[in-house]
Structure formats: structure tokens, C-alpha cells
Structure 1
Amino acid sequence: MALLIRGGTLVDASGSRPGEVLVDGELIAAVGERLEAPGADVIDASGALVIPGAIDAHTHFDLPVGAVRSSDDFESGTVAAACGGTTCVIDFAGAGREPPDEALEAWHAKADGRSAIDYAFHLTVTDVPEDPAGAAALFAGFVERGVASVKLYLAYPERLMVDPATLGRALAASRTTGVLVAVHAEDGLEVERRTAEALAAGRRHPGWLAEVRPPEVEADAVRMAGELAAVAGAPLYVVHLSSEAGLDAVRSARASGASVFAETCPQYLFLTNDLLRGREDEGVDFVCAPPLRADADREALWDGVSDGSIQVVATDHCPFTRRDRRRGVADHPAGWRDFSDVPGGLPGVETRLSLVYQGVRQGWLSAPEWVAAVSGAPARLFGLADRKGRLAPGMDADLVVFDPEAIRLLDAARLHMRSDHSPYAGEEVRGWAAVTISRGRVVSRDGEPQGAEPGWGRFVPCRPFGWR
């Protein structure tokens, strides 16, 4: 059945213009004005923005963390994503030091038959062969299985952290295979040293998280990774950038010739570390890593998105129930022991598109810049740009009719994420997805599920890095 979206303003990273979109089956058939489509179903987009479906390049569904796990699985998380205008997610396969093949098989099992929208994977990597040919063969094998990006952690010693030599080998393999290397950029050894000092002094309150993971540990890690990327001649993607110091390090690395790309998240654009420093029981609900920062960092990150220093706004969606947060990663019956024991992560997959749109309302971003940050740039960076992220014939019919005047209260009870706490509780936003379409199928209307069936979403293989 054909579907015609008419009366709206078409917006993608290339610009804004009046027009119509004709969908035939799962693909966009035509984009233009006064399209002829006898017999097509019509969606009236008058007064709305018609954009490519949002792509969330950073989610953690059904992720085990110690004895607990993130509260959204692929079914609940992707239904919530659709309600907020996201039509594709890229989840991180792997929770520790398991072999990549095992991790990928496990994540396919989690997602297959359960996802309501399309999905892709990054792979968490903790070991890279010392032999360059072996490393290249390993990464080429990832590409053959549809995975074209890996994540290495510079934090969490003994669990996930890699040393500079391992990161250097990954970047060298990236140069020959096109697998994009992403890093969690915090100096893990310095964080561990500061954490041990704080706990020895009896400092257990969540507010201390901002002190043991300060901006400089992020900036130092970005600098080190950027230097290795420059030596290897390979691109580098910094996930969840949280601070002005980290952003400065990204800009410096780029100015020195390194090909460094950066992502931030709504929590770093809207929230501050004052939320960690309130009553102990309240601060637990805002624990994430990197931690929330100062207001000056928040403003600097908006500047970075606006001037293109930060290409992507993703979520790092990794919520936990309030009960699991309070029982800690070891699920203590008596409750969490200190800030290091609280599972970190916040919900966001449903609210990201609207939250970032507030930057358009404030005049900090243009509408095309907004769409680039939430859809176009992720598609280009992660090998999806031949199918997603643009309004053009032949692309997947992943579309959002976005009502710029719709008002939404961001309380947990009004949202669909499997989280009993919203970090934006009590706040209203103006602008929400009126209709979300996944490969030609309506999956949400007015922020509520409609047609969002588990199993509709497909695994989408990613192509090797090709940013131009």
C-alpha cells in the first residue's frame, strides 16, 4: 500500500523545503511537490516537520551489570524509541571480556524477533591480536557479520579497560578494514586512585562521583586516544562526551590532524551535577559515567553541537529501576554501600529527539543541524547512509512527522521506557513525534504505540566507515 505524506516542511541534514514524500512498500518512492499517488493513504503533515527517522547510535538494552541488568530489553526499549521518533538503534554487543563472536551471537538472540524497529550493533572489544594481520582479519570478520564499529574502554580496570597499546592496534586495524573505533574516554587508573581515596575517607555520597571522575580524566583520555589515532591515520569516535575540557581536547586533536568525531547525550546538555549532590537517596537516581557536569560544561557542549565539533547526539540509554539502583551492582539486600556500587546509566531513547529539538526552539541549532545530529550524522558515521538518515528515493521509509507545537510532560508514568524514574520529571517539552513510520509502517501516533510489533525490526548490517 502506498502512503503519501503531504503538507509539511521536509527537513534533513541538507536543508528545509516544502514538499511531499511518497512511500511505496518499505521504501521512499519519491520526494517532491504535488506528487501524484492515486489510491494512496494520506497523512496530513500541515504545520509539521517531516524528517528521516532518528537513529540512536548508543543504547544498552538488556545489559547485565553485576547482579542487575538494564531495565529495557529490545522489545520495551524499541517500542519506547518509536514513540519518541527513533526508527533505528545501534546497541553495544558485549558486557565484559567474552569473545566477540559469543557476544554478537548473544545480542542477536536478545534482539531477534523482539525489536519493533530496525537495529544494528557495535562490538565491545577488550583484546586485539598483536600480529597486525591477525588484528586486521579479526576486524574484517566483524564487517562480514555486518558490524563496522567497535568500542574500547579506557576506564574500568580489570573488567573492560584496555591499555594504549591495545587501542593502538585497534586503530591500525581500523585503517585497513574501515571498522570505526569508538572509545569510552576516561583515565581509568586515575579514576580508581581517586575512588579509593574517597572511599578510604568515608565519602560514599553520590555527589562524590563528580569528584572522582572530573573533567580532566576525560580530557586526558581524549588526548591520548587522539594522539594514537593520528599516528595510526585512522578515525576515532569519542562516545558520551560530557565536559568542556573533553571538547577542547577533541578540537585540539582535530586541529593537530587527527580524524576525531564526537558524540554527546541529552543528560549532558540538560542536567547538572547538582542533582547528584542532593539528598543521598535522590542522587542515586542520577548516577552515570561520565557523571553529570557543571552548567558551564552543559553550555559548552551545546556550542559544540552547534558549531559541528560534536557530530552526534545519542543517548547511552541504560536505565535501571530505582530498586536495582538502591541494591547496587551486587544486589545487596541491605542496600548500596557507596557511589561506586550504584549501577550507572539513565533512560533517554524515547525523549532524545524532542529534547534536542529544544535547541532549535532556543535558536542554538537550525532544524537541519538538529536532524543531522540525531539522524544524518549517525547514518554517515556507522555505515547506514545508503539506507537511512536522508529524505531521498530508494531510502528506507523511516520517517517522522514531527509536531513542533505538541507539549509532552517527561514524567516516567507518561513515557514508555521501562524505568520508574525520569531524570526530567516535572519538565515539559514542546515538540514531539506525531507519527513515526518504520520501513513504511506506522509504529506510533501522538507518542503512543500503534503497530509497533515485536519482530518488525530487522538487523541492519553496517558498512565500513565512509564519512565524507
Structure 2
Amino acid sequence: MRATFMAHDNDLVIRGGHVVAPSGVIDGDVAIKDGKIVSVGKPVSGAREIDGRGKWVMPGGVDVHAHIEQMSGMGVMNADTFETATRSAAQGGTTSVISFAAQARGEPLAQTVAHYSARAARGAMIDYAFHLTLTDLGVAGFDTDLGDLIAAGHRSLKVFTTYNIKLDDHEILSIMAQARQHGALVCVHAETDAILNHAKTQLIEAGHVRPRDHAASHPRIAEIDAVERMCRFATYLDQPVMLFHISTTEGAAAVRLARANGAPVWAETCPHYLFMSEGILDAPGLEGAKWMCSPPQRQTADQDALWAALGAGDLQIVSSDHAPYRYDKSGKLSAGPDAGFHEIANGLPGLETRLPLMFDAMMRVGGLGPEHFARITATAPAQIYGLLNKGAIAQGMDADITIWDPDKQVTYGANDLHDNVGYNPWEGRTITGWPTHVILRGEMLCEDGEFLGIAGMGQWIDRPELATKPNNAKAKT
């Protein structure tokens, strides 16, 4: 009898792994041809085969919050190019990223996107899309450019409620209305600026300016107030909103309540809020600057609440918020060796460590398990942001796959990441579970420690429409 698949009918077969598919865990083969997944679970053969027995076969990670080749609001260029950032991402199992095309004051939005597109096309080694960071609504042609760019596939917008790039509430409502008109998601860094400025001023006047004082400069009420307000804005306009980097118990509770009341909102958190507390900032000298981010790390009780919110589905995504600055004069120490917390660039690297940290935590006994891991690190991000061919191991999807050895242990070193940051914020942490093979559209990116990616091989991800609409946002997640 003729076999269903003859030899070499497929380009690549992953044989006999624990495959995490949308329908559940399937023990069997995954066949890949012409960059697409052509079958899941059936016995097949291929021109090349990888032994997946005893391994977890997961969708390639989708990281939807990363700052790459971007100038900070403080005028400090971050450490990574698209080449170094996406190389690092791939080494950690991530195959798609959404970074920011950040508008400078006075810059036409179309010019912003053109500049970032050129950088990414030159260097990206994984597939990518952009959030449009909006800072100057008064620049000539803004409304026309915004509508045209959304129609061209840039389906997510980023606004700030604080810092020197913040928008006022009436401007945020205007952006939400335009996003609703054109079919885009609005992402918000939600902290109330007046509260942050009040706290920062008091700390500086009292001489409390060490990195450890950074936590007090971001009172938790600033997050709570802004999150609740943005939820009300989303409800008022029936416009989908993604709330970035939730860090507090109360912030997660506000999202839960808003969603229960039908607000079209989603929310994410990040590994540094799940695994770190603010005490990490209290290091000798300026050493704590390595871990400074905004919002800052909180308390152990907040970690517990965030894990519970992920388990309950109140938070839908874990992103890295990769914001890389070297611990030297080009980055964290650009204001000198006596810099105060208010003069230090905020952010830490995370593209490479997000998935191993989460795999280790979620796959242990009592953890949330493989299906939840795949959902919050790949499937939900792809669905919410309209990456229609990403984030799932299913027939017809892009063959973006990461194979995990669940038993391999790795202890992070001082400078063992593949980005351009120069330090690992997780130095000394031992994790169990490691990506041994990373595949992008059927092409091998990483194999048993060898990196095979080429600068420019990543492709821009067109998002012709969002997968979720304002009137069914809550139902689809």
C-alpha cells in the first residue's frame, strides 16, 4: 500500500515530540514544507528529521514589547541594533517580535516608520512588526499618515500617560477614536504623571537619589490610577486597549474588574515583575541601576498576585519589555558616576531570557503547564496583535517552532547573553529547560548551541486586520 507521505515529501520533520497544539498536547510528528506546517501528529517522513522524543515542541515565542535601536526619552540610545537584539531573541526561543517605531518631536510619522523599517530590514534575524509610538500629534500630516500606516498593516499604537513624551487625556481619547475608526489596538504605558512628578520631586529635595530610591519614585497608586482611567476610556469609546507591564496587585485587580464589566482591555506583565522585588535595586554604589525599570519591581505579594492573574486569565501576555542599556557611559552611567536615579536610563534586557525563565517556572510540578506557557508567550500575543500566521503549531501556520529539552539545566553567568548589553540581570539564577532548536519559517536559526541566523533574514509581518474586534474583545480571550 502506498504510504500517505513518501520520503522527502516534507522539508523537515520533528519526530515524536510532545507537541503543544491549539487542541492540546499531541505526541507525534510535525511536518514542515515550504516554510509552513503541513501536518501535526501524523507519522511522516522528510528530507531532514529531528528527534523530538522526550522534548517539548512549542510555537516559537512571540514577544510583543521590545525596544530596539531606539533613543530613550532621556536622549540615551539603547544598546541593541536589530541584528544584536533579534540574535539574542532567537537564542532564547523567540521567533517574532513587535518593537517600537518611536516618533520624535516634530517628526512626520511616515518618516519615523521609514527609518525603523530600514534598520530592521538591514539587521533583523527574526520576523518583526512595529508599534507606532505617538508623541507629537501636531506635526504636519499626522492624521493622514496615521490612517495610511494603519491601513498598510501597522495595527498597534503606543501612548504614554507620563514622562516628557506623554499625551494629555484629550489627546489619548483622540488617538483611541482614530484607532477605532481605522482598526488598530492602542497600547498604554499607564502611570499618572502628576503622581510620579510629586514623588520624584520630594525624593530629590530630601537627597534620596540612589537607585534603590527609584522604587519610591513610582508609587503604586500612579499605576492604579492610570490603569483604571484607561479602562474607562476603553469602555467609553468601545476601543481595544492593551495595558503594558502591570506590576501591582491593585493594577491586576483593576484589569480583572474592568474586563468583568465588559471593557475591551487586555494586559501584560513581565518576568522582572514575576521574579524580582524592589530590594534588587539596593546594591552598592550605582550597581542597582542595572535593574532599574519603569514601573519598578514591587513586593513578593505583588508577584503572587500577578501569577494568580496569569492563571485566571486576567493577564493575557508575558512580554520582555526589552530595554537594553549598557552599564557604562554609553548607557546607564551616561550622567556620570554620581548620577541620581532620575538621571539613569530605565530598562533591562529580556528578549533572550523571557522564555527560559517562564518555561522553568511554568513547567515545574504545580506550575501552570505547557499549554498555558504556549498561550501566554506565543498564541495570545499573536492573536491579540493580529499576527495571523504566528503563535501556534497547526496546519497552514508559519513553521516557527522552538524545541525544548525539559531536563537541561543552565546557570546564567555575568555576561552570557547574545545581545549588546554586557551584563545578564539574571546572573546566578539556575533554570531547568532549554531551547535546543529554534526554527523560523522552516529555516533553522539555532541548533544545539550553534547560531545559524543571517542579518536581514527576518521579514516584516503584515497585519491586514486585528484578529479581535471591539465588540468581541472580552469573548476572544
TM-score interval for Structure 1 and Structure 2 normalised by the shorter chain: over 0.9
Letter in 1 for 2:369: S
Instruction: Give the deviation of 1:241 after TM superposition.
Output: 1.0
In structure 1, C-alpha distance between the alignment counterparts of 2:180 and 2:68, rounded to whole Å: 29
Match of 1:92 in 2: 100
Of 241, 250, 256, the residue aligned with 1:245 is 250
RMSD (Å) for aligned C-alpha atoms:
1.9
Letter in 1 for 2:387: L
In structure 2, C-alpha distance between the alignment counterparts of 1:110 and 1:325, rounded to whole Å: 20
* Pairing 1:68–2:80 present: no
Match of 2:266 in 1: 261
TM-score by length of 1: 0.93
Instruction: Give the deviation of 1:34 after TM superposition.
Output: 1.1
Match of 1:83 in 2: 91
Instruction: Give the deviation of 1:455 after TM superposition.
Output: 1.1
Task: Give the conservation status (yes or no) of the 8 Å contact 2:79–2:325.
Answer: yes
Q: Give the 3 Å change call, closer, same or farther, for CA 324–57 of structure 1 in structure 2.
A: farther
Instruction: Give the deviation of 1:172 after TM superposition.
Output: 1.7
Match of 1:403 in 2: 405
Q: How many residues align?
A: 456
Task: Give the conservation status (yes or no) of the 8 Å contact 1:408–1:430.
Answer: yes
Aligned-partner SS, 1:322? coil
Of 289, 293, 303, the residue aligned with 1:298 is 303
Match of 1:361 in 2: 364
* Pairing 1:47–2:50 present: no
Instruction: Give the deviation of 1:96 after TM superposition.
Output: 3.5
Task: Give the conservation status (yes or no) of the 8 Å contact 2:86–2:125.
Answer: yes
Map 1:139-158 onto structure 2 (within 5 A).
Answer: 139-156=146-163
Task: Give the conservation status (yes or no) of the 8 Å contact 1:302–1:364.
Answer: no
Task: Give the conservation status (yes or no) of the 8 Å contact 2:103–2:109.
Answer: no
Match of 1:30 in 2: 39
Deviates more, 1:165-174 or 1:398-407: 165-174
* Pairing 1:198–2:206 present: no
Task: Give the conservation status (yes or no) of the 8 Å contact 2:78–2:331.
Answer: no
Residues 152-186 of structure 1 show CA distances to partners (whole Å, capped at 9, x for unaligned) of 00110xx2101111111122222222200000010
Residues 111-144 of structure 1 show CA distances to partners (whole Å, capped at 9, x for unaligned) of 11211111111100124579xxx85x55431223
In structure 1, C-alpha distance between the alignment counterparts of 2:331 and 2:285, rounded to whole Å: 11
Aligned-partner SS, 1:143? helix
Residues 19-64 of structure 1 show CA distances to partners (whole Å, capped at 9, x for unaligned) of 21111121112222212x3x52000011001111111101111111
In structure 2, C-alpha distance between the alignment counterparts of 1:409 and 1:417, rounded to whole Å: 17
Q: Which runs of 5+ in 2 are unaligned?
A: 1-9, 469-475
Aligned-partner SS, 1:361? coil
In structure 2, C-alpha distance between the alignment counterparts of 1:456 and 1:417, rounded to whole Å: 17
* Pairing 1:122–2:131 present: yes
Aligned-partner SS, 2:328? helix
In structure 2, C-alpha distance between the alignment counterparts of 1:418 and 1:15, rounded to whole Å: 37
Task: Give the conservation status (yes or no) of the 8 Å contact 1:237–1:262.
Answer: yes
Task: Give the conservation status (yes or no) of the 8 Å contact 1:441–1:451.
Answer: no
Q: Which runs of 5+ in 1 are unaligned?
A: none
* Pairing 1:2–2:11 present: yes
* Pairing 1:223–2:231 present: no
* Pairing 1:208–2:239 present: no
In structure 2, C-alpha distance between the alignment counterparts of 1:290 and 1:14, rounded to whole Å: 36
Letter in 1 for 2:25: S
Letter in 1 for 2:128: Y
In structure 2, C-alpha distance between the alignment counterparts of 1:463 and 1:360, rounded to whole Å: 35
Match of 1:19 in 2: 28
